[in-house]
Amino acid sequence: MVLEFSEEASPALPAASAIMIRHTSQGMETLLLKRSDELKHMPGLWVFPGGKVEVSDEGDDDLEQARCGAARELQEEAGISLPAETLLTFSHWLTPVVVKRRFATWFFIAEVGSDDPVTVDGSEIVAHEWWRPADAIRAHQEGQLPITPPTLVSLHDLQAEDDPSVLLSQLGERSPPRFFPRVMRDGDQMAFLYEGDAAYESGDLSRQGPQHRTLGERGIFRYVDSD
* 93: Cβ contacts below 8 Å, ≥ 6 apart: 103, 104, 105, 107, 150, 178, 179, 180, 181
- List the CATH code of the domain at 13-179: 3.90.79.10
User: For every one of its 227 residues, what pLDDT tens digit does the chain have, with 9 covering 90 and above?
Assistant: 455 655 666 789 999 999 999 999 999 999 999 999 898 888 899 999 999 999 999 999 999 999 999 999 999 999 999 999 999 999 999 998 877 788 999 999 999 998 899 999 888 999 999 999 999 999 999 999 999 999 999 999 999 999 999 999 999 999 999 999 999 988 889 999 999 999 999 999 999 999 999 999 999 999 999 87
Neighbours of 179 (CB within 10 A): 21
Task: Write down the pTM of the prediction.
Answer: 0.94
The residue among 216, 227, 224 whose CA lies nearest residue 99 is: 216
Domain regions of the chain by residue span:
13-179, 181-227
